[in-house]
Structures are given as structure tokens and as C-alpha cells.
């Protein structure tokens, strides 16, 4: 039997992580974003490094320092830019952790110049169009890397998470209640995979990251119990 470290190690593995919030432009100075800080992705990047992996980090808007020692850093602010970056890197990687809070919609009528009030008191119309689902596209692509998804929910956490894991076809899904995690330094998650649904205690984001990476490594090394 392999020893515990070998089972939980990501040595020689290349892991791509997306993190932070995307930013969808309305005009050159305004846009739509969300309150994700990127902290969980940065914690996961460090945990993957500690497990021996080479880490490729693609980030949107983040409110935390970038981790040192990554193999690749790339800023991709919009969902489309993030999609392009991920698919360019996809064939080099063994695992993909999609933590980024990707906007479900982008602005269809982005203005080339700063919007001006037209004086009538009538607000402008912002048209939205759906963004591609980066995680689902990667998970369902040919020779897909091992994919880890996140499900931030504000109600029915377990039911929505099960449905999301099945729909996207990801082997490991991390579910959390947004009211517990957002803006805090701790997190409380449930890990859902083919073998178990494991509720972890509330811990620091670093400890949560270590637990996610340990499970990911077990599943990638197929030493699951």
C-alpha cells in the first residue's frame, strides 16, 4: 500500500486554478463584478504547491496578494478572457480547480465611450448575454483534466450541489453556504465525489484548502477509501 503522503501528494502534477471575480465592462470605466475576494483560490494554489504540484494561476479581480512560486500567472478579467486563457492552457495540465466567481452574464451592448446622461432622465438599457460555462466546457471536453468545481449557494446547499456536480460532470465538487464564507477568513464546506459526501468543520481557508487538495490527490491517484 502507498504511504499516506504519496496518496495525498500532487507531485509531478500540473494544476490550473482560476480565482477571483470576473469583471464585465459596461463602458470604459464601469462594469459588473461580484464580491469574491480570490482568497480561497490563493489558499488552494499554496496548498497545491505544498502537495508538490506545479500551479498555473489565472485570476480576475482579487482583493488579496498573489501567492509566490507559481509556474504561470495570468490576469483574465472578463469571463471570455478567462475562458480563452483556460482553453489555451488546458492541454498542459492534469487538474483544474475552478474557484473563480465567473459572471453568468456579460454586457451585450458594451459602449466604446463613457456613457453620458442624455438629459431626459431616462436610464440607459444594459443588455445581457450568457457567458460560456468554463468549468463545464473543460469537464466535458476531450481528454479532460481532473476537474474540481465549487458551488456557492444561499439555500438548499446539498440538493443544489448534487445537481450541479451531475450537470457539469465534475468528479469533485466543493459546496458552501455563501452566508458563511463570503468576506470571512474561515470557510465551512461539503466535499461531494463519487464515493462520499463529507461535511468538513468550519476551519481557516488554508485548512479547507489542504483538505480539498488531499481529497483531490486521493481521487487523482485513485487511492480512495
- Residue 130 touches Ca ion, criterion: CB under 5 A: no
- Residue 191 touches ligand CTP, criterion: CB under 6 A: no
54 makes contact, choosing from Ca ion, ligand CTP, none, with CB < 5 to 8 Å by partner type, with: none
The footprint of Ca ion on this chain (CB under 5 A) covers a number of residues equal to 1
Taking CB under 6 A as the criterion, the residue among 152, 172, 189, 214 binding ligand CTP is 152
Contact 20, 41 (CB under 8 A): yes
Phi, psi of 39 (to 5 degrees): -60, -40
Q: Is 132 annotated as a binding residue?
A: yes
- Residue 149 touches ligand CTP, criterion: CB under 6 A: yes
Is 34 one of the annotated active-site residues of the chain? yes
The footprint of ligand CTP on this chain (CB under 6 A) covers a number of residues equal to 14
Grid coordinates representing 168 are 457539469
79 makes contact, choosing from Ca ion, ligand CTP, none, with CB < 5 to 8 Å by partner type, with: ligand CTP
Contact 177, 154 (CB under 8 A): yes
Which residues have C-beta within 8 Å of that of residue 186, sequence separation ≥ 6?
A: 202, 203, 204, 205, 208
Q: Which of the residues 103 through 142 are near ligand CTP (CB under 6 A)?
A: 104, 131, 133-135
- Candidates 11-19, 101-109, 160-168, 191-199 — which segment interacts with Ca ion by CB under 5 A? 101-109
Taking CB under 5 A as the criterion, the residue among 4, 73, 104, 185 binding Ca ion is 104
| Distances from the Cα of 20 to the Cα of 61, 77, 93, 200, 210, angstroms | 5, 9, 20, 23, 19
**Dihedral class, residue 26 (left if φ above 0, else alpha if ψ from -120 to 50, else beta):** alpha
Q: Which residues pair with 146 in a beta bridge?
A: 95
- Residue 47 touches ligand CTP, criterion: CB under 6 A: no
Q: Is 3 annotated as a binding residue?
A: no
Distance (Å, whole) CA 133 – CA 138: 9
Q: Which of the residues 154 through 183 are near ligand CTP (CB under 6 A)?
A: 164
Q: Is 205 annotated as a binding residue?
A: no
Distance (Å, whole) CA 95 – CA 220: 8
Residues in contact with ligand CTP by the rule CB under 6 A: 79, 98, 100, 102, 104, 131, 133-135, 149-152, 164
Active site residues: 34
State the binding site: 104, 114, 132-135, 150, 164, 168
Amino acid at each position: 500500500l502507498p504511504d499516506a503522503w504519496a496518496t495525498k501528494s500532487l507531485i509531478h502534477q500540473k494544476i490550473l486554478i482560476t480565482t477571483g471575480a470576473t469583471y464585465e465592462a459596461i463602458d470604459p470605466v464601469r462594469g459588473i463584478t461580484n464580491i469574491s475576494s480570490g482568497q480561497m483560490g490563493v489558499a488552494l494554489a499554496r496548498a497545491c504547491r505544498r502537495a508538490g504540484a506545479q500551479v498555473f494561476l489565472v485570476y480576475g479581480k482579487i482583493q488579496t496578494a498573489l501567492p509566490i512560486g507559481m509556474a504561470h500567472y495570468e490576469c483574465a478579467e472578463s469571463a471570455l478572457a478567462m475562458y480563452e486563457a483556460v482553453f489555451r492552457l488546458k492541454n498542459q495540465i492534469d487538474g483544474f480547480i475552478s474557484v473563480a466567481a465567473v459572471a453568468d452574464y456579460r454586457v451585450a451592448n458594451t459602449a466604446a465611450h463613457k456613457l453620458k446622461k442624455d438629459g431626459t432622465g431616462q436610464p440607459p438599457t444594459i443588455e445581457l448575454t450568457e457567458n460560456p460555462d468554463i468549468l463545464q466546457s473543460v469537464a466535458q471536453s476531450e481528454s479532460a483534466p481532473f476537474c474540481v468545481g465549487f458551488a456557492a449557494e444561499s439555500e438548499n446547499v446539498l440538493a443544489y450541489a448534487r445537481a450541479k456536480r451531475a450537470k457539469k460532470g465534475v468528479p469533485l465538487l466543493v459546496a458552501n453556504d455563501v452566508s458563511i464564507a463570503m468576506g470571512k477568513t474561515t470557510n465551512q464546506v461539503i466535499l461531494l465525489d463519487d464515493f462520499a459526501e463529507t461535511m468538513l468543520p468550519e476551519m481557516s481557508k488554508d485548512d479547507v484548502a489542504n483538505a480539498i487538495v488531499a481529497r483531490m490527490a486521493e481521487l487523482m491517484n485513485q487511492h480512495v477509501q
